[in-house]
Chain A
Amino acid sequence: MIDIKGILGPLSALKFLGKAPHTIDYPKETKKTADRYRGIHYNDVEACIGCGSCGTICENDAIDMVNVGFDPNKADTGFRPVVDYGRCCWCALCVDVCPSGSLSLTKDYVYVDDDPKKFLYVPGLQELGKVNIDSTDDLKELAKIEKENRPKLKEGERSWYQKDRTEGLLEFNRVPMKELPGSTRIKSFAEVVLGYTEEEAFMESIRCLGCGLCISACPDRMHIPDYIQAITERDYNSSANIIYENNPLPEMCGKVCTRQCETACVYHNRGDAVAIRWLKRFTTEQFDDFRTIINAEVKPLNGKKVGIIGAGPAGLTVGYYLRLRGYDVTIYEALSKAGGMTMAGIPKYRFPLDSLDKQISYMEEMGVRIHYNTRVGKDIMFDEIMDTYDAVFIGIGFHDPYDLGLKGEKEAKSGVISAVELLRRVNFGEKVDVGKKVAVIGGGNVAIDGARVSKRLGNVDVTILYRRRVQDMPADWEEIEGAEDEGVHIVPQAIPEEIMLDKNGKVTGIKYVMAEMVDDGKGGRPRPKKIEGSEKILPIDTLVGAIGQQADYSFLPDEYLFKTQDDEKSGSKKGIDTFWGRILVHGYNETTMKKVFSGGDMVNRTADAISAIADGLNAVKGIDLFLQGGKETKVNHSVTESDLDKNKLLDKHYKMKHENGKLVSVKLDLSGNIVTESVKIAKDPDELKKDVEKKEVNKSTDKANSKDKTMSYPTKNTNGETKKEEKKSKSKKKSKKKKKKK
């Protein structure tokens, strides 16, 4: 039969005729995009650190890291991601893996153009399709866009981004290191840190993104991502080998390094840096004996002899790597154990004796000869060393403490001890009696070490007196916390005035004044200012001073020391030049005296073990070049400006300037005003003048190539300005056109 319903039923569809259609009349009206829509990229170029993680994770090879004109520095490579929209498929993995959280996706997804080149896009620097990227010059052009002109995200446009540290794919918390509790650790010198287990080390190592930013911060340029990668693969053998490539004291570094690398780590800004130091420590702890696993190739002796003064990290590094290169090395060490300050100055609860022994015995095994208890200048003369060896390396370090300069210090017969001496004596097993109450003056690591060591010498009450606030202390934060855990009192903003003595010259107390922090008025850090009438007296048995150390150059005969102008005029042979207590060195750590190289604390200002090792390695290169006498080996023995720039001595306190063709060293105060000037002449003035002129010519050409280090915002010369204006007007025109189209 006829299906009436089947025939009439469909007619009900005609009811839509009277209804409003639900078509969206795009572009007149638009539909709301979902909150988490993944559209086109936006990058906060100021927050981006150029680590390249986005490019590494991209499955489609869509992200390039390109220099768009940002300055590279320690924690920023200066590169920024450029997205190829001919590749991107908006999976947003790049956003999820961005450690700085700068990359995000917007709700904008309409990207239409007729030129396929325009789909290369620098997020955060460029408006969609505005710039054709043909070459690097175009990208440099982008960088010139001033901050205000950069595209900004409007409210609510950002859709896919890491709202907090828990979003995304990254783990911002490091695996915590297990430590002895404070009450247990003050009872002995047992090591505080317990080290990672294999699983913990693995979990920590997989956090590493492998970008290598840390390398740029490490003075020694250790191959950090590589050895962490080896730990991830559980290949500890190759991990140790990678570490030993340029660090002969890895276990020491694994325990006490100042780890500048971790401050450059990509995680540092938003979370905990990868525990690079602990991972290195983990690797080195896996082996009882390095001999069996390090497959270093020792070249046969080549007949050249190198003498090294001081078996500190710098000296040992030079000794080890020169021995590997086939030199006959001899190290003279004044103390009965090698290791320098790491041996004598680091308390054993941080750096146990046996781990140092392990490394040094391995070195001696490789053929490094060390003469212990041999003080140069006393047991052996410097002249003799100079005569015997083809090259000499001086790495004596800073062992002489500064005087406190307090009233009563000279008169005190007992009870005043420097932290360095205290540590040395404790480390060498001597019994030290500090009484029941100890005050430590200073805020550096040495001061904290002194305090914590004192705490372990029995039931001792330890107080640290520091002129500034706790947050101004130069010591590691971890160390300060550790000290507090162990019951060390810290009295900040206390300026010591006078040491109180009894009639036998024994210390009974210390008088100090409280201080308030006042602004120095020049934008520098606040200065402490005494508060009148706030004197207090702290009764103590021992005063430990830890306000700094200096080098002892008494072993150097006078003729080897540089005599400034007189020397220059008389033309007598040049000696080792020192500058503010430090030896002045050039590119390869060579001193102003031929065949003498130097490194370590008395050369660099950072004064830590890893810098000493870096100095040592640099000197190894220098000595090798010097002794092999190759073409590029010409070691320059005159001070020029560029040399001094490289010189580790110079930091912001010191600037060099030219005056009448002479190179003048200028000491500046914190705000950049000239405080003192001293003339340092290295070449005869005429020659220097030529040099300077040449340099200036070079500089100007360099500037023209915009290769100077400073951020190259539009240059002030007229050509540049007009060009920029042209660009601006062009872009304005373009935007107008676009509007018209709409």
Chain B
Amino acid sequence: MGFSKLTETKVLLKQYFKDIISIEEGGEQRLIIDLQSKDITSMINHLKDFMDFKHLSMISCVDWPEENKFEIVYILTSYSKNIVLMLKTKIDRKNPKLQSIMSLWPQAVTYEIELNEMFGVFFEGNDRMGEEFILEDWDDIPPMRRDFDSLEYANKNFKFRDERKDKKIIREFISEHYDEWRKK
């Protein structure tokens, strides 16, 4: 018995990419790799061409406003190795730019325009960048960013029924009626 395919992949990747921030197992047959954003394209290229990760499951994004970063997550699968790879990289939130991988997988275009619409991440080399995907006539900040207040937007743009004006919040009512010592 040699190494398992997971360990083998891990070792190979570590040898090939010296700059990997971290690589860890995230469950059964699952690797989570943290990368710098400049390495991401070459890494994916390598994975697809030489390590048989032929399937792009999805591209996703996580907003970290506290760190002022976007975390882009690529999920690749290899059927021969039966391994799911999660490539994560953090990019600057103010100027979120990344290389498109549409030349490797044409379907990546859809993910990329969606991320562009929902987070405002720009993928260079994607010629359909900026196309409307789900939101038509959107004129606010991208809605999936965490500093976007959905309820506020809804209150501003939509009308709710006005029959509910008698609403009372019990705690406030009690404060008003009983509590003369409340600091206001």
Contacts and interface: CB of A to CB of B under 8 A. Distances in A.
Q: Does chain A touch chain B in the assembled complex, meaning CB atoms less than 8 Å apart?
A: yes
A116 B170 contact: no
Contacts of A67: 166, 168
Nearest to A221: B179
A221 B178 CA distance: 7
Interface in B158-178: 161, 163-164, 166-171, 173-175, 177-178
Contact of A77 (B161, B166, B170, B179): B170
Contacts of B181: 220-221, 223, 245-246, 617
A325 interface: no
Interface in A223-258: 223, 225, 245-246
Nearest to A72: B177
A51 interface: yes
Contact of A210 (B161, B164, B171, B179): B171
A211 B171 contact: yes
B182 interface: yes
B180 A212 contact: no
A215 B168 contact: no
B33 to A, nearest CB: 36
Contacts of A139: 166
A50 B171 CA distance: 11
A654 to B, nearest CB: 24
B183 interface: yes
Contacts of B163: 117, 120, 133-134
B161 A116 contact: yes
Contact of B174 (A66, A133, A213, A246): A213
Interface centre among A50, A86, A211, A212 (most CB of B within 10 A): A212
Contacts of A245: 181, 183
A77 B178 CA distance: 11
B171 to A, nearest CB: 5
Contacts of A225: 171
Interface string A58-94: 0000001111000010000101001010100000000
Interface in A123-175: 133-136, 139
A52 B161 contact: no
A66 B167 contact: yes
Contact of B168 (A64, A133, A210, A246): A64
Nearest to A66: B166
Nearest to B164: A64
Nearest to A51: B170
A56 B171 CA distance: 10
A64 B168 CA distance: 7
Contacts of B167: 64-66
A591 interface: no
A362 B165 CA distance: 47
- For the residues of A in contact with B, the DSSP-based class is mixed
Contacts of A223: 179, 181-182
A216 B179 CA distance: 8
Interface in B116-171: 161, 163-164, 166-171
B178 A50 contact: no
Contacts of A82: 164, 166
Contacts of B177: 72, 216
Nearest to B172: A212
Given A223-B179, A245-B183, A617-B181, A120 B173 contact: no
A216 B170 CA distance: 11
Contacts of B173: 65, 77, 79
A215 B166 contact: no
A215 B178 CA distance: 7
Contacts of A66: 166-168
Nearest to B174: A212
Contacts of B166: 64, 66-67, 82, 135-136, 139
Interface string B65-104: 0000000000000000000000000000000000000000
B182 A211 contact: no
A216 B174 contact: yes
A125 B92 CA distance: 57
Contacts of B174: 77, 211-213, 215-216
Contacts of B175: 212, 215
B176 to A, nearest CB: 11
B170 A52 contact: yes
A385 to B, nearest CB: 28
A212 B161 contact: no
Interface in A199-221: 210-213, 215-216, 220-221
A64 B166 CA distance: 8
B158 to A, nearest CB: 13
A484 B178 CA distance: 38
A522 B161 CA distance: 54
B36 to A, nearest CB: 38
A140 to B, nearest CB: 11
Contacts of B168: 64-67, 79
A483 to B, nearest CB: 34
Nearest to B181: A246
A67 B163 CA distance: 14
Contacts of A134: 163
8 contacts: A64-B168, A66-B168, A82-B164, A120-B163, A210-B171, A212-B175, A220-B181, A245-B181
Closest 3 CB pairs of A and B: A52-B170, A212-B174, A64-B167
Interface of B: 161, 163-164, 166-171, 173-175, 177-183
Interface of A: 50-52, 55-56, 64-67, 72, 77, 79, 82, 84, 86, 116-117, 120, 133-136, 139, 210-213, 215-216, 220-221, 223, 225, 245-246, 617, 621
Given A120-B164, A212-B174, 17 more contacts: A52-B170, A55-B170, A64-B166, A64-B167, A65-B173, A67-B166, A79-B173, A82-B164, A84-B161, A117-B161, A120-B163, A210-B171, A211-B170, A211-B174, A215-B179, A221-B179, A225-B171
